[in-house]
């Protein structure tokens, strides 16, 4: 075995494809799944399709920071080094919902949970470890306002902007984390999967059928969407490839404002302060 890989949302479309690819690359895989029973079924399928048996399932609800903390604590207690951490799970809530932590649910799952999980697991990582976060091209229309954590956005609820805000936040986390762990030899990068046919796409709004028709020709399969993340996790990368965003397995060249965003450090600090206020001290 090359080491342990931890993958969130591993029972979903892209998460399942990433699980199989990483297992075939020779890693022990820990599948972090919202529902353990569903995860076990996916695990059995993955074992059948890859003939790799070093796959296990842990249940975690990424909308509840207590659940994130618990699964991180169990991994820390085992003290098995982590070679790969894939923050893949994501959601796009169709209505406003505030979690038990006082967070807007999409913000909790897409941004705060990966922040907490990654920082908790850093003691198990070292030179050569890789962290990959699943972002989206919508980061470019994201905005971080004072209402971000509790409401998602300024004004009334609207799922698409809130989703975009979380993806910008996750990208800023990638940039800041990469700079903080660079000297430890840990690589941190972001993968943009493109438009992918997964469970995150719903048909609850009046405009969804029209959107489906317009975007259907560009929609990728989960395997195609997962390819960039898999590349960043298991393929050879040029030395020093960290703090970068990739799409279609190629580095995306971003505008300077996204490489040195004015909120990069402040968002890190604000997130740490928010979690510390809720008892998750770093």
Q: What is the DSSP string of 74-123?
A: HHHHHT--EEEEEE------SS--B-TTS-BHHHIIIIIHHHHHHHHHGG
Is 282 inside a domain boundary? Answer: no
Structural domain tally of the chain? Answer: 1
* pTM of the predicted structure, to 2 decimals: 0.92
Cβ-based neighbours of 196, under 8 Å, separated by 6 or more? 13, 14, 219, 220, 221, 222, 224, 225
Burial environment of residue 179 by CB neighbours within 10 A (0 to 12, 13 to 18, 19 or more): middle
Beginning with the edge strand found earlier in the chain, give each strand of the sheet holding 55-59 in spatial order: 55-59, 28-33, 4-8, 82-87, 130-134, 187-192, 245-247, 250-252
Is 183 inside a domain boundary? Answer: yes
State the Cα–Cα distance between residues 98 and 83, nearest whole angstrom.
34
pLDDT of residue 202: 47
pLDDT of residue 201: 47
pLDDT of residue 195: 73
pLDDT of residue 217: 55
Identify the segments of the chain with pLDDT beneath 70: 196-218, 220
State the Cα–Cα distance between residues 143 and 156, nearest whole angstrom.
15
Is 223 inside a domain boundary? Answer: yes
221-233: per-residue pLDDT in tens? 889 999 999 999 9
State the Cα–Cα distance between residues 244 and 251, nearest whole angstrom.
7
Name the packing angle between helices 113-121 and 159-181 (round to 10°).
20
Burial environment of residue 6 by CB neighbours within 10 A (0 to 12, 13 to 18, 19 or more): buried
Q: What is the CATH number of the domain that holds 137?
A: 3.40.50.720
Helix (H) / strand (E) element for 229: namely helix 222-234
- Domain extent, residue 112, equals 4-277
Is 220 inside a domain boundary? Answer: yes
Note whether 116 and 280 are within 8 A (CB).
yes
Note whether 221 and 197 are within 8 A (CB).
yes
Q: Are strands 245-247 and 250-252 parallel, antiparallel or unpaired?
A: antiparallel
């Amino acid at each position: 075995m090359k080491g342990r890989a931890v993958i969130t949302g591993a029972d979903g479309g892209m998460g399942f494809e990433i699980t199989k690819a990483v297992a075939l690359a020779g890693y022990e895989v820990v599948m972090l799944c919202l529902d353990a029973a569903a995860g076990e079924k996916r695990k059995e399928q993955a074992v059948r399709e890859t003939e790799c048996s070093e796959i296990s399932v842990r249940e975690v609800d990424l909308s509840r920071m207590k659940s994130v903390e618990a699964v991180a604590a169990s991994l820390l207690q085992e003290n098995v080094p982590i070679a790969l951490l894939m923050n893949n799970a994501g959601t796009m809530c169709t209505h406003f919902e505030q979690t038990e932590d006082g967070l807007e649910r999409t913000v909790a799952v897409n941004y705060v949970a990966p922040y907490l999980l990654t920082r908790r697991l850093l003691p198990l990582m070292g030179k050569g470890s890789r962290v990959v976060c699943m972002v989206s091209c919508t980061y470019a229309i994201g905005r971080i306002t004072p209402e971000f954590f509790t409401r998602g956005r300024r004004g009334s609820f609207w799922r698409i902007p809130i989703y975009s805000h979380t993806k910008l936040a996750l990208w800023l986390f990638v940039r800041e984390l990469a700079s903080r762990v660079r000297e430890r030899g840990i690589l941190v990068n972001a993968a943009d999967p493109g438009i992918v046919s997964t469970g995150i796409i719903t048909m609850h709004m009046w405009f969804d059928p029209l959107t489906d028709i317009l975007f259907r020709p560009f929609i990728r399969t989960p395997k195609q969407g997962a390819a960039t993340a898999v590349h960043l996790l298991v393929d050879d990368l040029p030395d020093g490839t960290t703090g970068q965003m990739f799409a279609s397995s190629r580095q995306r060249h971003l505008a300077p404002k996204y490489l040195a965003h004015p909120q990069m450090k402040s968002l890190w600090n604000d997130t740490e302060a928010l979690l510390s206020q809720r008892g998750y001290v770093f």
